[in-house]
């Protein structure tokens, strides 16, 4: 079982430099905890500070090591030539391989804010991925369906192949993931039982497309307390707030031993990766959770 982290990009703060500082500190803590992968998310036209993925990941990579890293990109919201160039540059900065996490984007207001037709996001997603993969192979690309692209070619090319993971949950979307990508990401809102069912659907779809997946990952919002009692108290606070509309079973909260057991359940189900995201927005609590993940890793090894 590999443990990666998706560092929160959204902070309710007055000083914009403070949010960036927190992201850098969490990246440094993740490296010291020997976590296996590093990611940031993708969101646009926000009212509160949201640090854009390409720029902030470039800074965070200065704190990272040789392990894989990447970002989520909602492909319909991006010009694929520009995004292929940015990923090529990021892949040149980093020492490990680049993992492209990608999705459709389910926020119609976000699409409207960027001038993108929300109803076209599925074919735009597929075309965007195909265009970028051709560009990363060094090919010239012409495309007229969604973007007016004429004989585009990019450089630098990624030093090693970009690995594609797609987040999906509906049966048709899981099937599309199996057809197009090397890895799948399960929703953070699923409990273990539902996550196991969806993993079985993904495996069946991979078999139907004669694909051997490289990763089956699940996102978890996490808090690791100094002990069980303290963790339970924090969990109760977030459950009372109806945190993100998640069922309590979807939150990964507990002591080091309890969280290791929870992750072990996903490993037994067949997941290869857990991608954690800090439940608590307080920087001290967030850093303590990341530091305790080192002990969780030792228990799982």
Share of the chain above pLDDT 90, in %: 99
Show the DSSP H helices in the chain as ranges.
16-32, 53-60, 80-93, 108-113, 121-136, 171-180, 192-208, 228-240, 256-269, 283-300
User: Is 174 in contact with 201 (CB distance < 8 Å)?
Assistant: yes
DSSP letters for 105-119:
---HHHHHHTT--GG
* Tokens standing for residue 50: 């949201």
pLDDT digits (tens, 9 = 90+) for 198-223: 999 999 999 999 999 999 999 999 99
pLDDT digits (tens, 9 = 90+) for 180-193: 999 999 999 999 99
Tell me the domain boundaries of the chain: 2-221+271-284
Question: Is pLDDT of 4 > 90?
Answer: yes
Q: What is the pTM of this model?
A: 0.96
User: Is 282 in contact with 8 (CB distance < 8 Å)?
Assistant: no
H or E segment and range at residue 254:
strand 251-254
Within 10 angstroms of residue 45's Cβ, the number of other Cβ atoms is 13
* Tokens standing for residue 47: 């009212």
Topology (CATH level 3) of domain 2-221+271-284: TIM Barrel (3.20.20)
User: Is 129 in contact with 200 (CB distance < 8 Å)?
Assistant: no
What pLDDT, on the 0 to 100 scale, is given for residue 301? Answer: 86
């Amino acid at each position: 079982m590999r443990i990666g982290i998706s560092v929160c990009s959204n902070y309710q703060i007055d000083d914009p430099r403070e949010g960036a500082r927190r992201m850098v500190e969490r990246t440094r803590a993740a490296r010291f905890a020997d976590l296996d992968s590093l990611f940031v998310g993708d969101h646009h036209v926000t009212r509160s500070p949201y640090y854009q993925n390409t720029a902030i990941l470039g800074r965070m990579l200065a704190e990272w090591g040789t392990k894989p890293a990447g970002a989520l990109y909602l492909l319909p919201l991006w010009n694929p030539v520009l995004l292929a160039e940015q990923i090529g540059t990021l892949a040149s900065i980093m020492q490990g391989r680049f993992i492209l996490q990608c999705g459709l984007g389910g926020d119609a207001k976000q699409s409207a804010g960027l001038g993108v037709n929300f109803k076209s996001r599925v074919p735009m997603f597929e075309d965007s991925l195909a265009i970028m993969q051709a560009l990363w192979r060094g090919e010239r690309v012409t495309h007229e369906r969604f973007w007016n692209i004429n004989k585009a070619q990019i450089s630098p090319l990624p030093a090693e192949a970009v690995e594609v993971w797609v987040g999906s949950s509906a049966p048709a979307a899981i099937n599309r993931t199996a057809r197009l990508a090397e890895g799948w990401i399960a929703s953070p809102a699923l409990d273990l039982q539902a996550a196991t069912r969806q993993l079985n659907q993904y495996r069946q779809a991979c078999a139907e497309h004669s694909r051997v997946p490289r990763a089956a990952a699940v996102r978890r919002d996490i808090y690791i307390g100094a002990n069980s009692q303290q963790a339970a108290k924090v969990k109760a606070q977030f459950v009372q707030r109806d945190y993100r509309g998640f069922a309590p079973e979807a939150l990964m909260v507990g002591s080091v031993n309890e969280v290791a057991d929870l992750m072990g359940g996903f490993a037994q189900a067949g997941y290869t990766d857990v991608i954690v995201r800090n439940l608590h927005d307080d920087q001290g609590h967030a850093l303590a959770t990341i530091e305790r993940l080192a002990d969780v890793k030792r228990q799982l090894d």
